[in-house]
Chains A and B, each alone.
Chain A
Amino acid sequence: SQQGEEDPQALSIQEGENATMNCSYKTSINNLQWYRQNSGRGLVHLILIRSNEREKHSGRLRVTLDTSKKSSSLLITASRAADTASYFCATVPLSGGYNKLIFGAGTRLAVHP
């Protein structure tokens, strides 16, 4: 079952602006991952943050994790039109032998030139 929620559901910004997406989850996790999906395509892994980490960077991406609030955020800086896609967080619960990815509802990001 889905355990994550994301907000906003949709985000529309101009090129050059920053985009922030939030994700909340319900159970204790081993790690949290962010994925990107272009329309009608498969998922591309962006970044993984472990439960004992608070922040991680990868290029223009910055991810934070607050396990006390069971929430994470993904920040895309200096956005580009090519960043237009849906972004999903996914958690690996502590229970279940690290066997599952539980996806959030996703945020549809539109970056306008």
Chain B
Amino acid sequence: GAVVSQHPSWVICKSGTSVKIECRSLDFQATTMFWYRQFPKQSLMLMATSNEGSKATYEQGVEKDKFLINHASLTLSTLTVTSAHPEDSSFYICSARSQRGINEQFFGPGTRLTVL
């Protein structure tokens, strides 16, 4: 159990376009989802925390108008990178936490974004 999927697994886009990444909890209800980005050979940096039905909480330095997060249901959160630029190229990983297990986050496989 506790499987989290992400779609797409990789995407290449032109500079200036917007890209949507989906994060789904497949076999549990995720009251909270987290979005991270990871640059090559670096650690995960938390971008934002989203709770179902409410606005996301962004970490300091993360532009909320550039990284739009929607957590419309208990099994789906989306991250939209708006007007993407080459510096947005990164590995984006989501994780989900259920109401029962506050200590454990289940991670998706990640999405590799390359902006040309």
Contacts and interface: CB of A to CB of B under 8 A. Distances in A.
Contact of B104 (A1, A45, A102, A103): A45
Central interface residue in A88, A98, A101, by most chain B CB within 10 Å: A101
B43 A106 contact: yes
A42 to B, nearest CB: 4
Interface in A80-98: 88, 92, 98
Nearest to B32: A99
B110 A42 contact: yes
B103 interface: yes
Contacts, number: 57
Size bin of chain A's contact surface:
20 to 34
Contacts of A43: 44, 93, 95, 107
A30 B43 contact: no
A41 B103 contact: no
A2 B49 CA distance: 15
Interface of A: 1-2, 30-31, 33, 35, 40-45, 48, 88, 92, 98-106, 108
11 contacts: A1-B59, A1-B60, A31-B103, A42-B107, A43-B93, A45-B107, A100-B49, A101-B34, A101-B46, A102-B46, A103-B44
